[in-house]
Structure 1
């Protein structure tokens, strides 16, 4: 997550160096997010069959290869292949989705959301640590060598995967909900159950908005600040602060999700995002306003993840949580695709990011409304295997 969070630092220097418009870089990042989401359900199914460690290790290897090919990219096709296809596939195997499923299966309902918050916070810590490293690499060595060094750094994922298990037959499963004792649904039955449930689609639609916000800001924030005449390092500081306060936000969301209604917490988070973005673009931009925005946005950044994944586990059980959350997450990545790509498209065609900022505000309030009708109870047919 830390390496992914640093990729926006490269948008402007790489585009200027290679004579590209911003849409080329943005489209590759958008494809990365979309393919990550498309492959996520399959990667989750693989973890449920073969164990989390093997899938995460494979994703780590693919991530390193993709970053190396990015370092030698001189044309849009090669860059889209490496940054879009390879990194998208890699992240489906080694990013949060794969880990959250394993953690969700291993923890009881009483502590599950908090555990998911801890995992999300750990990913946020990676952003806080790696973004300034990426900025230092970029400043001292240029974008090409920087990608090579980040690729070497990503090998840590492979070694960390040795300590992961997370296979359903090995994990400590939570107790089935009241009324259990029936034969557990298989994967096809659970998918059919979810597909007919309006709560599943409302949750999925809401998570689309999270992806739109997060991906747009991650990729375009450094260039946006540079365009406004602010110091180039401020983009890295902004992303770093978002990562730092995301740790706090994820912990708090995980804790509160175990105490209060997850759907109402999500509605509150999306509303606060819209208010925060509106305040940021309406006040005169300055270094203090950027830092304040980064702190506020960090608190709201991935606080949605433990609550959303926790809702999936609450409603449908944990046996196929990874696969079901993978489907919900695909919607998140469709939002990410549009946020990143449209950011580049509108900048190249209008010279401004304003349409995307305002779209993000409208979408945030829409997501807040969508979560209210969700039925936050274990489905009558869902049991933990």
Structure 2
């Protein structure tokens, strides 16, 4: 038999026969309710982006796979309000039009092979410049910032039956996980004016704005970029975890933008006061502008292993030569290469 199920969690407000409420299934609605106020505060300028990170709640039938499918989840969403008459133009599109996007369009599914297409080719295909520009930024974020291999990334186009009825265009960004194959990490949704119109109808407050140049009134359209934070954390751990047989320990390959520590500072041994003093000086100097920790316990090999396990990119060792040449040994997590670097040149090392 068919079971009717509400994906939202109901609540009873107040005592007795209080008003019924629901836990929010997405963070998106808060920016929509606040749009008019924010529009006024931002001197009535479009496009206007409102970002929000917060909890959302969904009555999932079968929560599973650790943080991939949860009933209580964290979302990071950006709602971009813009004039629909400008959707086919983006002022920076020329700078990305030759950029190649790894896409799986609806027609590609018969062979299930993503194709590389330039941003301009997707516009020729029928997608608006404004939409394609943000597809480019999403791929650049995953490939250039999070360091996801391009072969493990794809932009997956949803067809009319799969996308929400209010989405004119909808691409999911997916990453191939070791355990679960290609998995949705978020989506780019062109929601048109569906949400603002709905709030206008219920609240009786006009959501219209005025195009100052043409004197026309319109309801802004919305482009939504939605990320599942828990899923993206899982992604980094899934692809970053390596049980390295050569080293004999776990290595966590994290991009530097999310690693808990960029540097770790070690004296070669802890029972030599002169080494400890220099190591602590290096630590205090680096701490001013970097994420760094100090460790003097156990052998140097064990300390390297501990640093590998939590994703530290660079290990800095103060040894006896450091007392003479004012230099330290810097070990790179990724290559295990050791480089001699002057202490005065450490600030900014690795960010060259």
TM-score (norm 2): 0.23
Q: Which has the larger radius of gyration?
A: 2
Q: Larger relative CO (CA 8 A, sep 6+): 1 or 2?
A: 1
| Higher strand fraction (1 or 2) | 2
Give the structure-1-normalised TM-score.
Answer: 0.22
Q: Flag the structure with higher helix content.
A: 1
